[in-house]
């Protein structure tokens, strides 16, 4: 199977990042979202990243123009009809994702491969809702997509090995280091790491230390580039709440249950960097 054109559903942080690495690798890429405003915001994010790369002399101006020439924005589902592969990178909500794939399944050619970018949701459930479960896989990219090398490639009991191998090799061409994960809740990284983030919030609730001191301790004590609260703010408290709810629904264990502080911060709209305030206030310097 030759991949000639790639589609990306969703122009947010993850979608625009995926669209960018596809365009950098030379693939004609079309990125879609529900409004022109969101599409333009995603394209602007890509343009800003590339401009900074030119300023830092990491790429040339010609390379910037080449990449921008490879990516196109749209608000129409039908523009995905001739894509050979479509990444879905919409909100971390199973009902929304199922609706997106139902529409893509109707529009796209039968041999197109579908990939859901998710951090915890069931790939099997999404694949079973389409007419191409053998051509459906999961991918879990990490934020920021253009810089983070890892991607988890997730198969199901219905996945074609041939399709899996094609996607795995494509990830390498996109400049990533893929790992093979099976469709188990949380896959590899989040299965092990999400409890660390939730425990950090519980430690805060129990008065073990302040946000700043817990972050400082984990960075200096364990060599982590970011503390748990910095990472929670970066990835989004709403996203982390959704992941925790998925885990708890699956396992019913306290270690996976979202702490009250996390729930209340999301209710209050304190989602992290994306909203300007989470555990830290980004409307002013820390």
In a domain, 281, yes or no: no
Domain finish residue from 182, 214, 245:
182
Question: 114 with 162, same domain?
Answer: yes
Identify whether residues 161 and 37 lie together within a single domain.
Answer: yes
**Residue 267's pLDDT is what?**
98
Strand pairing class (85-88; 113-117): parallel
Check residue 120 and give its pLDDT.
Answer: 83
Average pLDDT, the chain: 96
| 93 and 17 part of one domain | yes
Selecting among 32, 70, 190, 194, the annotated active-site residue is 190
Q: Which of 32, 45, 117, 119 is catalytic?
A: 119
Question: Does 1 map to a domain?
Answer: no
In a domain, 283, yes or no: no
Same domain, 133 and 154: yes
Q: What is the pLDDT of residues 222-266, one digit of tens each?
A: 999 999 999 999 989 998 998 899 899 999 999 999 999 999 999
249 and 151 in a common domain: no
Q: Return the SS3 of 8.
A: strand
Q: What is the pLDDT of residue 119?
A: 86
- Tell me what the mean pLDDT of segment 273-282 comes to: 96
Domain containing residue 211: CATH number: 1.10.1040.10
Count structural domains, the chain: 2
Mean pLDDT is lowest, of 42-46, 137-141, 148-152, 238-242, for 238-242
Coarse DSSP helix, strand, coil percentages of the chain, rounded to the nearest 5 percent: 50, 15, 35
Instruction: For residue range 32-60, list pLDDT tens digits in order.
Output: 999 999 999 999 999 999 999 999 999 99
Share of the chain above pLDDT 90, in %: 93
Residue pair 22/29 in contact (Cβ under 8 Å)? The answer is: yes
Rounded to an integer, what distance in angstroms lies between the CA atom of residue 74 and that of residue 238? 26
Position 286 pLDDT exceeds 60: no
Strands, E assignment, the chain: 6-9, 29-32, 71-74, 85-88, 113-117, 136-141, 150-155, 177-182
End residue of a domain, out of 182, 203, 222: 182
Quote the tokens at residue 234: 């970066």
147 and 218 in a common domain: no
Q: Look at residue 284 and tell me if it is in a domain.
A: no
CATH code at position 163: 3.40.50.720
Flag whether 286 is in a domain.
Answer: no
Catalytic, 103? Answer no
Is the domain of 144 the same as that of 197? Answer: no
Active site residue 140: yes
49 and 76 housed in the same domain: yes
C-alpha to C-alpha distance for 196 and 187, rounded to whole angstroms? 15
Q: Please check whether residues 177 and 210 belong to one and the same domain.
A: no
Q: How far is CA 274 from CA 9, 243, 266, in A?
A: 20, 17, 12
Say what the pLDDT of residue 174 is: 98
Residue 224 lies inside a defined structural domain of this protein:
yes
Q: Distance between CA 108 and CA 155 in Å, rounded? A: 21
The answer to whether residue 153 scores a pLDDT higher than 60 is yes
Catalytic residue among 70, 120, 140, 159: 140
Q: Are residues 100 and 80 in the same domain?
A: yes
Q: Is 176 helix (H, G, I), strand (E, B) or coil?
A: coil
User: Which domain-ending residue is among 160, 182, 204?
Assistant: 182
- Residue 285 covered by a domain: no
Tell me, yes or no, if 152 is annotated catalytic.
Answer: yes
The boundaries of the domain holding residue 13 are: 6-182
Within 8 A by CB and 6+ apart from 129, the residues are 98, 101, 102, 105
**What tens digit of pLDDT does each residue of 61-117 get?**
999 999 999 999 999 999 999 999 999 999 888 999 999 999 999 999 999 999 999
Is-contact 32 74, C-beta < 8 A? yes
pLDDT of residue 285: 60
Domain shared by 171 and 90, yes or no: yes
Same-domain status, 123 and 48: yes
Look at residue 284 and tell me whether its pLDDT is greater than 90: no
Q: In this structure, is residue 141 part of a structural domain?
A: yes
Give yes or no: 182 in active site.
no
Active-site hit among 116, 152, 194, 240: 152
Tokens linked to 189: 């990284």
Strand partners, 153: 139, 180
The model's pTM is: 0.86
Which of 20-24, 164-168, 247-251 has the least mean pLDDT? 247-251
- Per-residue confidence (pLDDT) for residue 139, from 0 to 100: 97
């Amino acid at each position: 199977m030759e991949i000639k054109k790639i589609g990306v559903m969703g122009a947010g942080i993850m979608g625009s990042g995926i669209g960018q690495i596809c365009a950098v690798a030379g693939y004609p890429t079309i990125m879609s979202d529900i409004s022109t405003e969101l599409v333009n915001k995603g394209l602007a994010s890509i343009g800003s990243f590339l401009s900074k790369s030119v300023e830092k002399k990491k790429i040339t101006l010609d390379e910037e123009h080449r990449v921008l020439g490879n990516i196109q924005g749209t608000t129409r589902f039908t523009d995905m009809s001739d894509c050979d592969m479509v990444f879905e990178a919409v909100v971390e909500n199973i009902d929304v994702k199922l609706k997106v794939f139902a529409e893509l399944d109707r529009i796209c050619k039968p041999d197109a491969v579908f990939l859901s970018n998710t951090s915890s949701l069931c790939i099997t459930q999404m694949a079973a809702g389409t007419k191409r479960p053998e051509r459906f896989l999961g991918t879990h990219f990490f934020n920021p997509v253009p810089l983070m090398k890892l991607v988890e490639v997730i198969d199901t009991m219905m996945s074609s090995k041939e399709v899996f191998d094609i996607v795995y090799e494509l990830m390498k061409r996109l400049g990533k280091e893929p790992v093979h994960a099976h469709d188990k809740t949380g896959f590899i990284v989040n299965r092990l790491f999400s409890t660390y983030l939730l425990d950090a919030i519980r430690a805060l609730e129990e008065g073990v230390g302040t946000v700043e001191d817990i972050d400082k301790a984990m960075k200096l004590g364990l060599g982590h580039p970011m503390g748990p609260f910095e990472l929670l703010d970066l990835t989004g408290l709403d996203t982390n709440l959704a992941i925790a709810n998925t885990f708890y629904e699956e396992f019913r264990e306290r270690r996976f249950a979202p702490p009250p502080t996390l729930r209340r911060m999301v209710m209050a709209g304190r989602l992290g960097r994306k909203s300007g305030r989470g555990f830290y206030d980004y409307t002013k310097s820390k």
